Amino acid sequence: MCARAATYPGSEMYEPPGDEEPSGCLDTIVLTRAMLAVLFWPVMAMMGVLLVAAFGLVLYSIHPALVLIPIAIVGLVLYLFARWEQRHYPPPDA
């Protein structure tokens, strides 16, 4: 009636530490800095979208037509960015 008890794996599963140098805080700092460098601009874009949405909500509470101001600003920023990108990275000739 008693199920067979699971036994703890023996010493064959244990690997003794090697003669390598122990990893220190420098590895962690380098990896954290690389991760934050990759994520900086996407996080800034998300925060910008949230700020524009909050600004639009405040303007909407004043008067519904004022919501067109942040929409126009976002449209202008996208247009200027597209012009800048086209000037710096022209499309390949087809």
Quick: pLDDT tens for 1-43: 555 656 666 556 666 666 676 667 888 899 999 999 999 999 9
For the whole model, what pTM was predicted?
Answer: 0.59
CA 48 to chain centroid, in Å, comes to 13
What is the spatial distance between Cα 60 and Cα 54, in angstroms, rounded to a whole number? 10
pLDDT of amino acid 25 = 86
Per-residue pLDDT, 91: 83
What percentage of the chain carries pLDDT values higher than 70? 76
Question: Which of these, 64, 70, 66, 67, lies nearest to 52 by C-alpha position?
Answer: 70
Find, among 41, 20, 43, 39, the residue nearest to 31 by Cα: 39
The span from the CA of 60 to the CA of 62, in Å, is: 5
